[in-house]
């Protein structure tokens, strides 16, 4: 069983055109220089953080790929800082900031990066630079790079560290954070907020407050809902849920007229809250299937059940599926020659789906 799934995964990895991988002493040797050149400064030589002379474009790609300008990838994650991104700094200081932002964006969207954090750090550096065009380009790319709340929180934390305690919440950052939330519909936002409430010392309440998005009171919130600003209303509901629970949401809005979209969000949030208190396995499975609940919204105690995992498996995102594939096999949730195994094998061989989730970066 393990051998079957491993064979499928290895065939997927070997067919990927982005990487040239070989094993040496427990580490992976990757060569970003084999990728087509995009930056116009391809012939500019710089000293990387290892003291070797390479082109600026290659050093930048290495940093974006795995967080180091060295040619060798290690499974141990490197600490990110200005001293480990010399090529990035030299390109920005040389007036190539907009090209750097485009390279960051392209690297991320094409799934070249093994880790997401180096790209977020590089974007934060660009968003802090004195050049106005570089800052604007970096904040425009925020929605493309920060697909999850965890990534958004990490980006904001990098900005805080780079500013060394001084004020960073200018108009541009407030607008970028506002756009990140406003780009999602009500249900997407409810799923997002309930799956990841805080990370890197930041929460949704923090960002809403500092970006000046949070309504001042309930009546203002309802006024915005009537004037088609329903998304703000949903944000307020989800924030109350994270801080006061479902009881707080009911006390604040349970007796007020709401739109059909908001009622769907209410039903979803209620299902999330019920799943936390549910003791009946069949009822929990029903909630998972009806509202498409995900692993992050299920209590750890419930994840001991094979039937709960099978219910989650039906709508499980690709990245989450691959992350837990070993456990699903070891715990015999995926039984040999079962329909579930056939469905999983079909999904992980879908090239379009793998590219859509930037599979190498997610791993």
pLDDT, tens only, 160-218: 998 865 678 889 999 999 888 878 777 888 888 888 888 888 988 788 888 887 544 44
If pLDDT is split at 50, 70 and 90, which confidence band does 293 have? Answer: very high
CA separation for the pair 195, 293 (Å, rounded) = 9
Distances (CA, A) of 313 to 138, 252, 270, 276: 36, 35, 22, 19
Q: Distance (Å, rounded) from C-alpha 11 to C-alpha 120?
A: 30
Structure tokens at 1: 């069983």
Residues 323-340 as b or e (16 or more Cβ within 10 Å = b): ebbeebbeeebbeeeeee
Strand partners, 24: 27
Average pLDDT over residues 35-43: 48
* Helices (H), ranges, 24-66: 56-66
Strand partners, 46: 54
Q: Residues 315, 181, 63, CA angle at the centre, nearest 5°?
A: 80
Q: How far is CA 261 from CA 200, 264, 282, in A?
A: 31, 5, 27
> What mean pLDDT is reported for the chain?
76
Beta bridge partners of 203: 198
Residue 169, both tokens: 């919440």
Q: Is the pLDDT of residue 314 over 60?
A: yes
Over residues 41-60, mean pLDDT: 62
Mean pLDDT of 119-132: 93
pLDDT given for residue 140 in this prediction: 94
pLDDT at 239 over 80: no
- Give strand pairing partners of 28: 23, 73
Q: Tell me the average pLDDT across 74-102.
A: 87
Query: Which residues lie closer than 8 Å to 349 by C-beta, 6 or more apart?
Result: 8, 11, 12
Give bridge partners of residue 199 from the DSSP assignment. 202
For the cut 70, the answer to whether the pLDDT of residue 253 exceeds it is no
How far is residue 153's CA from residue 305's CA, in Å, rounded to a whole number?
A: 32
Average pLDDT on 138-164 reads: 91
For the record, the structure tokens of 248 come out as: 């707080």
DSSP state at residue 136? H
């Amino acid at each position: 069983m393990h051998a079957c799934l491993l064979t499928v995964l290895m065939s997927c990895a070997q067919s990927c055109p982005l990487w040239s991988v070989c094993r040496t002493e427990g580490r992976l040797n990757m060569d970003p220089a084999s990728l087509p050149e995009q930056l116009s400064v391809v012939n500019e030589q710089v000293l990387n953080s290892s003291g070797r002379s390479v082109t600026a474009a290659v050093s930048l790609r290495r940093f974006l790929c795995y967080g180091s300008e060295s040619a060798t990838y290690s499974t141990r994650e490197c600490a990110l800082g200005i001293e480990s991104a010399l090529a990035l700094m030299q390109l920005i200081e040389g007036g190539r900031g907009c090209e750097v932002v485009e390279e960051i964006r392209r690297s991320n969207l094409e799934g070249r990066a093994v880790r997401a954090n180096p790209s977020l750090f590089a974007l934060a550096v660009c968003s802090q630079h004195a050049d106005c065009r570089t800052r604007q380009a970096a904040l425009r790319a925020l929605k493309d790079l920060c697909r999850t709340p965890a990534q958004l929180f990490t980006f904001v934390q990098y900005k805080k560290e780079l500013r060394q305690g001084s004020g960073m919440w200018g108009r541009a950052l407030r607008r970028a954070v506002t756009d990140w939330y406003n780009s999602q519909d009500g249900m997407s936002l409810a799923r997002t907020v309930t799956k990841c409430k805080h990370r890197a010392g930041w929460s949704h309440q923090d960002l809403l407050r500092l970006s000046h998005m949070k309504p001042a009171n309930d009546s203002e919130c309802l006024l915005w809902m009537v004037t088609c600003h329903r998304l703000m209303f949903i944000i307020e509901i989800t924030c109350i849920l994270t801080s006061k629970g479902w009881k707080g949401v009911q006390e604040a809005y349970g007796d007020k007229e709401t739109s059909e979209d908001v009622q769907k969000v209410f039903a979803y949030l209620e299902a999330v809250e019920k799943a936390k208190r549910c003791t009946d396995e069949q009822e929990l499975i029903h909630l998972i299937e009806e509202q498409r609940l995900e692993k992050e919204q299920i209590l750890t105690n419930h994840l001991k059940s094979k039937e709960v995992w099978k219910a989650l498996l039906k709508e499980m995102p690709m990245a989450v599926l691959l992350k837990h594939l070993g456990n699903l096999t070891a715990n015999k949730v995926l039984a040999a020659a079962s329909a579930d195994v056939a469905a999983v094998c079909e999904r992980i061989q879908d090239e379009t789906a793998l590219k859509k989730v930037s599979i190498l970066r997610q791993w």
